[in-house]
Amino acid sequence: MELKYWAATDVGRKRAHNEDNYLIDKELRLFVVADGMGGHASGEVASAMAVHTIRDVIRSERDIIDQRREHDPSWHMEICTLLEYAVHTACEKIFAKAHFEPEKRGMGTTVVCLLTVGDRGYIAYVGDSRIYLLRGEVVYQLTEDHSLMNELVRRGKIRADEFADSPYANFKNAMTRAVGPNEMVEVDTLDFDMIPGDNFLLCSDGLYEYLDDQDIMRTIALPDISEVPGRLIDMANTRGGKDNITALVLQVPASPDDNDRAAEINLTLDTLKRLRLFKQLSYQQLVRIMNVTRVLPVEKDFVICNKGDPGEDLFVILRGSVSLRTGDLEVAVLTAGAHFGEMALIDSTPRSATAVALEPGKLLTISRTDFYEILRKEAPLAVKLLWAFVGDLTDRLRRTTLDLSEAKNGEIEDFSEDLFDL
């Protein structure tokens, strides 16, 4: 996959020296931005150590990348683990240097890094620097700030628009995680499909504090990429420039040959987003769900599951239609965008109906094992998913009670799939 990239950094209008650093390794296709902290040039030392250590570790373990097992989920996990290990190594080195040089005690840095392999992107990050994705005409934040403000907002303690007038206002820039102040740090990772036309912005908080989604959308997709970082930096300086400013822009040029693949990825994400179970998820969380899905092509009359089979998977219809049957009775016909079998994500109760494809199509499947793994690793995501399940089950119970009441009164009609724990 062809890539275009450009970067720039600036001290800003208020700071005496620049503690930001960035790195582009063309051979590895690795892009890193780090925003140092610590003062007296210690932040600059920490951020420089971070970007170079991450590059050195990934280069030394390049054989993992060169294996190129694109269809093996464990390989994607190995690359995410490699990025995580690289950031951990940087953290240990920065902490050790501060231990032996007391004047640098407490120095640290944020880190965001993007590694591209083939048509897939891999992200690792710590702190409050960010990575944005512009896809189509929508801007998505792919990283989540490890800051006090974001943590309080995420836990529902305060709304973002209330923070400036809250007792925490003086701690707006306080971070809950950074690379270096402690010997170890928790690293977040994400892997995702890249498609032609995607545009990425890696930046420090000195830039994004002055931008909104419209600013990003209008700027990072400009044809002359060499102008983009400078324009963004000028924008931040014009609006205050109170911190160091770094912008690294990456573009994936559009290609007509890949239009089908791009359409398939967008269809999958859009379909998942419309489901009640996933409607409240952020884009980042939605990508995590999509990463555990599997595509199941079906032909007409293909039996997807039989009544009495143990339930193991949730099914989402991408294309085509599916008949739900019990005996000779057709209970319901589901079309693209519908789903069935969600109870299988909770337990292995036998299927209460048979599902048969009425025409050629495609389904997404999510296994209970993969679903549980997400719940175990992603607490905020787990809360959203379980809350959605409670709402869905409540609606099912109400509709089933109503259907049974009508049946009791002699108004028997074909029951919908809501009666079936598929």
233-269 pLDDT, tens digit per residue, is 999 999 999 999 999 999 998 877 777 788 888 889 9
Q: Which of 194, 292, 205, 286 is nearest to 240 (CA)?
A: 205
Supply the CATH number for residue 133's domain.
3.60.40.10
Are 269 and 163 in the same domain? no
Residues 234 and 269 in one domain: no
- Residues 230 and 312 occupy one common structural domain: no
Question: Residue 311 above 90 pLDDT?
Answer: no
Q: Check whether residue 405 and residue 271 sit in a common domain.
A: yes
The mean-pLDDT minimum among 105-114, 217-226, 375-384, 404-413 falls in 404-413
272 plus 245 within the same structural domain: no
Confidence of residue 76 (pLDDT cuts 50, 70, 90): very high
Look at 92 and 73; give whichever has higher pLDDT.
92
Name the domain boundary from 227, 254, 281: 254
292 and 302 Cβ atoms separated by less than 8 Å: no
What is the rounded average pLDDT of the residues 124-144? 95
- Taking the CA atoms of residue 265, residue 111, residue 63 and residue 61 in that order, the dihedral angle to the nearest 10 degrees is -160
| Lowest pLDDT segment from 283-287, 350-354, 407-411 | 407-411
Name residues whose C-beta falls within 8 Å of residue 42's C-beta, 6 or more positions apart in sequence.
36, 98, 103, 104, 106, 107
For residue 136, the enclosing domain spans: 4-254
Residue ending a domain, choose from 208, 230, 254? 254
Lowest mean pLDDT among 141-155, 165-179, 271-285: 165-179
Cα gap 208→250, rounded to integer Å: 16
Instruction: Give the C-alpha separation, 337 to 278, whole Å.
Output: 13
More confident residue, 168 or 359: 359
Same-domain pairing of 365 and 274:
yes
First CA to last CA across the chain, in angstroms? 41
Percent residues over pLDDT 70 in the chain: 94
* Domains contained in the chain, number: 2
Lowest mean pLDDT among 87-101, 127-141, 255-269, 300-314: 255-269
Kindly state whether residues 415 and 274 are assigned to the same domain: yes
With 50 as the cut, is the pLDDT of residue 305 above it?
yes
**320 and 281 share one domain:** yes
CATH number at residue 310: 2.60.120.10
Residues 222 and 368 in one domain: no
Taking the C-alpha atoms of residue 246 and residue 376, their distance in angstroms, rounded to an integer, is: 35
Do residues 189 and 234 both lie within one domain?
yes
The verdict on 309 and 402 lying in the same domain is yes
Amino acid at 406: E
Q: How far is CA 394 from the centre of its chain?
A: 29
Show which of 254, 272, 307 is a domain's final residue.
Answer: 254
CA distances from 263 to 81, 135, 184, 389 (A): 29, 12, 41, 29
Residues 284 and 152 in one domain: no
Question: What does each C-alpha distance from 228 to 217, 218, 225, 340 come to in angstroms?
Answer: 11, 10, 5, 46
